[in-house]
Amino acid sequence: MNVEKLTCFHFRNYETMSFSFVPKCIHFLYGKNAQGKTNLIEAIYFLSHLRSFRTNQMDSMIMHGCNEFCVQAIVESNHRKEELKVIVDHQKKHLFRFQNPVKKYSDFIGIENAILFCPDDLSLFTSSPKNRRRFIDMELMKLSRTYTSTLSSYQKLLKQRNQALKQSNIDECLVQIYLDQMIEVQSVIIKQRNEFLNSLMNKARELYPFFSNEKEEIGAKYMTFIPIDPDMKSHMKEAYDKVFEKEKRYHQTLIGIHRDDILFELNENPVCEVASQGQKRSFVLALKLGLAQIIYEKSGQYPILLLDDVFSELDDFRKRQLIEKLPRDMQIFITTTERLNINWNREVRFYDIEKGRIKEVLK
């Protein structure tokens, strides 16, 4: 998968920008801070996820003094051209594919599949469980339309059950109807999340030694409220029966996959307790490249890889290791403030970015 052309209007500090990029190539985006390097990869990421990795406030992405922004791209996917466009105004997204409106987010997310590494990813190990669930859910949503619809069904049922529990006279039959449906969809979600995590960690374990000089073992456990076995539905029913009286007092659903977590481990200890910043960075890089490999095996093509400030705090050895491990058939965008003295073994392009303008430069 490749972004062949990217166009932005009134996006961050890009008033008008349109640029073509080379497929299966590493693109180095040079520039001082606050010039627009990260803004460019944010635009590519936004087309993939319909959200920013930097903010939840879409208005903050609109150029000062403007009312809307537009990001569009021509993407090559499995030898087909895709024309994608998103216009955002007043917190509303308008989606287009080949200039035709797209009504459902699920029909748009993942058409352009991009994976991001940024410095904030190191907080994956220390932030709230919500962020770790989102990490898993966003990738599964891009890989599986079934997962997207199943998760959406669960969220709707959870909201309906909570509303039923909030009534002054609780209709226990209605609450049970919602619960029976929730148990069905949760068994699917738990299974998919767990299988995906196991597959991801198998890939990450193979890659992690390339980013570390130490003999270390990495792992991850999916933490849910029931044992993961063929009797999951029975376990769920028992668990909900035990907390039902408490749920009636608190007027909300107290257990479920909306509270699940992932425990990342280094040498069988929680990463958040024992890992250095360098070890966390190596762990995240192994996860992201492992994810790229899973996508390749499932779809037959690599996603676009976005690496924001990835070389910060990496020594020359790890920089070389990272470049060597990047698949040759993958299009990659790397932001950096420093010129790199590395022997390239593949096609690369270099760009200077200054005040919202991009210019290709010779090596």
Asked if 281 contacts 288 with a C-beta cutoff of 8 angstroms, the reply is: no
Average pLDDT over residues 291-304: 93
Which CATH architecture is the domain 122-299 placed in? Answer: Up-down Bundle (1.20)
Asked if 286 contacts 207 with a C-beta cutoff of 8 angstroms, the reply is: yes
Residue 321: is its pLDDT beyond 80?
no
The separation between CA 31 and the C-alpha centre of its own chain, rounded to angstroms, equals: 25
Residue 209: is its pLDDT beyond 90?
no
Determine if residue 38 is labeled as part of a ligand binding site. yes
User: Where, residue-wise, is CATH 1.20.1050.90 in the chain?
Assistant: 122-299
Q: Where are the alpha helices (DSSP H) in 91-171?
A: 129-143, 145-165
User: Where, residue-wise, is CATH 3.40.50.300 in the chain?
Assistant: 1-113+303-363
> CA-to-CA distance for 346 and 138, rounded, in angstroms?
30
pLDDT at position 363 is 66
Strands 92-97 and 80-89: antiparallel
**CATH class of residue range 1-113+303-363:** alpha beta
Q: What would the two tokens of residue 282 be? A: 């190596």
Smallest CA-to-CA distance from 72 within 144, 128, 4 is with 4
Asked if 222 contacts 260 with a C-beta cutoff of 8 angstroms, the reply is: yes
- 253: DSSP letter: -
Residue 177 half-sphere exposure toward CB, CA atoms < 13 A: 7
Q: What would the two tokens of residue 348 be? A: 């690369």
Plot region of 353 (φ>0 → left; ψ -120 to 50 → alpha; else → beta): beta
* Burial class (CB within 10 angstroms; exposed 0-12, middle 13-18, buried 19+) of 253: buried
pLDDT at position 98 is 95
Determine if residue 37 is labeled as part of a ligand binding site. yes
Residue 325: is its pLDDT beyond 90?
no
Residue 227: is its pLDDT beyond 70?
yes
> CA-to-CA distance for 314 and 285, rounded, in angstroms?
12
Helix (H) or strand (E) holding 354: strand 348-354
Percent of the chain with pLDDT over 70: 99
Determine if residue 34 is labeled as part of a ligand binding site. yes
- pTM, two decimals, is 0.91
Give tens-digit pLDDT for 48-63: 999 999 998 888 999 9
CA dihedral sign, ordered 330, 194, 104, 46? negative
Residue at 87: amino acid letter: I
Show Cβ contacts of residue 83 under 8 Å, excluding neighbours closer than 6 positions. Answer: 72, 73, 74, 75, 96, 97, 98, 99
Smallest CA-to-CA distance from 141 within 200, 92, 192, 91 is with 192
Determine if residue 35 is labeled as part of a ligand binding site. yes
| Residue 91: pLDDT band with limits 50, 70, 90 | confident
Smallest CA-to-CA distance from 152 within 109, 191, 189 is with 189
